Chain A
Amino acid sequence: MSRSPSFLRRSLDSDLVWRLRQAPAAVLSACVLVVMVVCAVAAPLIAPHTPFDPGTLNLMDSRLPPAWVQGGSATYLLGTDEQGRDVLSTIFYGMRISLAVGVAAVLLSVVIGVTLGLIAGWFGGWVDTLIMRLGDVQLSFPTIMIAFFIDGIAKAVMPPDLNQATRFYVVILAIGVADWVQFARTVRAATMIEKNRDYAAAARLSRVPGIRILFTHVLPNTLGPVIILATLGLGVAILTEAILSFLGLGMPPTQPSLGALIRVGNDLLLSGEWWISMFPGLALVLLVLSVNIFGDWLRDALNPRLK
């Protein structure tokens, strides 16, 4: 029996890698994305300062401009905010929160959406109607409003100190629940096609239980579009979180995300300290842009009709 080529070799020879080489914008966005993710994940190791340890802060260093502006200091490359925290370090930590919330929220949407979509597509009938009409109703409200709604309920039912501690999870829940419908629709449509494919019929003739057909035949063949949607959804989720935080409904100032950082700096924008909100804003733009460009490319690369 001939030995099949190694996994690495096969990955490098694959169609997807070949397509990536054809698209410089996608390569660039992927590189930016990798750098930003590394910065975010390794923030405690590579950030020049520890902005959330009050012991290391010096109020004398507050509101310093970036290093290349007059009055700036090389210690604080992108300047400091009004409490003397290094802006570059807060951006690293902020990206960490933004990315964590974004990824977790998209995963939550995917789990809810794929589950409901599979159920709707597989069973059909009134179950299908119920789930999809529920999705239609939810889609008639703006995503951000659903997130407000869930956020508001969480604030109302929980005592303030618990509320502070669970903020992170509430934000994930709010964004995740607001965004499941597109996944459910895609998976439902694919399930209705896959369950009637001949290989599913052959499995039924071999007395394979329905639930097993669902998980071994139908589910894997519906996931292609889900991966694309999830990548594009990540950009939206990060933005939604930024909007919530900017409006003061998202992450608390003790754990600021990029959106919360922009909000803090926004108050000082008119007094000339532009760097405090400008740099987190640029980081947010760069992050969402590269996620979107990469997701767009992925959609084209994996779309069989464009091949």
Chain B
Amino acid sequence: MAVPLVTVRDLGRSFDVSDPLVQRLITRAPRRSVRAVDGVSFEVQTGTTFAIVGESGCGKSTVTRLVAGLDTPSEGEVVLAARLGVRPRLQMVFQDPVGSLNPRWRVGRSIAEPMPAAMDAAARRARVAQLLETVGLATTDAVKFPHEFSGGQRQRIAIARALAAEADLLLLDEPTSALDVSVQAQVLNLLKDLQDSFGLTYLFISHNLAVVRFMADRLAIMYLGRIVEEGPAETLFDAPAHPYTRKLLETVPDVDNPRRERDAPAFDVPSPLNLPPGCSFCPRCPLVTDLCRRERPVLRDRANGTRVACHAVTG
């Protein structure tokens, strides 16, 4: 197999959430830290979409920031494979279409920001116009300000800016979750088309399983900072092994059978400050055993090409 574009090994990131020093001295409370990301490993192949799914606070955004280099890992490493001796360029498309563009800059200037400094003004303008067309906007839109656009249009502008760097890797941090469903579909189709025409690699973060099913080639499910199951997207959707993955897939509304029997979701998420010693999913797990409460399961390879971290799953 080819060298993966992104290799993440044993990535960990802890945040210090201790009280201020003076208060700690008075109450004699110890320093406390949250392990937002713990022992995460995965590979992303060139030209594919790798999706990370999980509920809020599971650490998926932290993983993206670590891969982007916006944050430094406490443990482990992120390796970006050099292609033709050049470190691959990466760009990010953010969740919030309002905050991702400087409100005082005309969007043309924002789109041109990642372009090389040596490029002259005329070439920049031409490239901006070309990029605006690529993402389905008018070339005259370059002189407008961000507040003149809708959320979906702004997300298209953010995508144009990401393309301007001629990046190999796009980090998509919930790029559609702030958009209407109809606009979501447009943006997702745009992303798919761009991947096909430019051979882009996507690291896609989402909590929306329908979106992930549409986009992802490979999929990792995260729970409280760890990957609990990882594998080809189709296999995971067809035969989910980990009880958490199964529960997640159950929550997807079924149009054909809206009143089917479902387990009531248990909202008993342990505090990330105080994780149980064994499997962190065990308070919510229907298959829990004594072993689960004592010993943390490690991620292991399965016969069908997926990896799972669960004592109860066989094979």
Interface residues of A (CB under 8 A from B): 1-2, 4, 197-199, 201-206, 208, 217, 220-221
Contacts and interface: CB of A to CB of B under 8 A. Distances in A.
22 contacts: A197-B99, A198-B94, A198-B96, A198-B99, A198-B100, A201-B68, A201-B70, A201-B94, A202-B91, A202-B92, A202-B113, A202-B158, A202-B161, A203-B113, A205-B90, A205-B91, A205-B92, A205-B114, A206-B113, A206-B114, A206-B165, A221-B104
Nearest to B68: A205
B113 A208 contact: yes
Interface residues of B, number: 23
Most B CB within 10 A of own CB, among A2, A204, A205 = A205
A173 to B, nearest CB: 32
Interface of B: 68-70, 90-92, 94, 96, 99-104, 110, 113-114, 140, 143, 158, 161-162, 165
Given A198-B99, A221-B104, 5 more contacts: A4-B143, A198-B94, A199-B101, A202-B92, A208-B113
Contacts of A2: 140
Contacts of A1: 140
Nearest to A206: B114
Contacts of B69: 205
Contacts of A217: 102
B100 A199 contact: yes
Which residue of B69, B101, B113 has the most chain A CB atoms within 10 A of its CB atom? B113
The 7 closest A-B pairs by CB, nearest first: A206-B114, A198-B100, A198-B94, A198-B99, A199-B102, A220-B104, A197-B99
A206 B91 contact: yes
Contacts of B90: 205
Contact of A199 (B68, B70, B99): B99
A202 B100 contact: yes
B151 to A, nearest CB: 13
Contacts of A204: 70
A78 B164 CA distance: 68
Nearest to B140: A1
Contact of A221 (B91, B103, B161): B103
A205 B100 CA distance: 13
Given A2-B140, A199-B99, A205 B70 contact: yes
B148 to A, nearest CB: 12
A217 B100 CA distance: 12
Nearest to B95: A198
A218 to B, nearest CB: 10
B153 to A, nearest CB: 16
A270 to B, nearest CB: 57
Nearest to A197: B99
A217 B91 CA distance: 18
Nearest to B110: A199
Contacts of A220: 104
A201 B103 contact: no
Contacts of A206: 91, 113-114, 165
A208 B140 CA distance: 26
Contacts of B103: 221
A203 B165 CA distance: 11
Nearest to B101: A199
Nearest to B144: A4
A202 B94 contact: yes
A199 B101 CA distance: 5
A202 B104 CA distance: 15
Contacts of B165: 205-206
B64 to A, nearest CB: 11
Contacts of B162: 202
Contacts of B70: 201, 204-205
Contacts of B161: 202
Nearest to A217: B102
A191 to B, nearest CB: 14
Contacts of B143: 4
A198 to B, nearest CB: 4
A105 to B, nearest CB: 28
Contacts of A203: 113
A206 B111 CA distance: 11
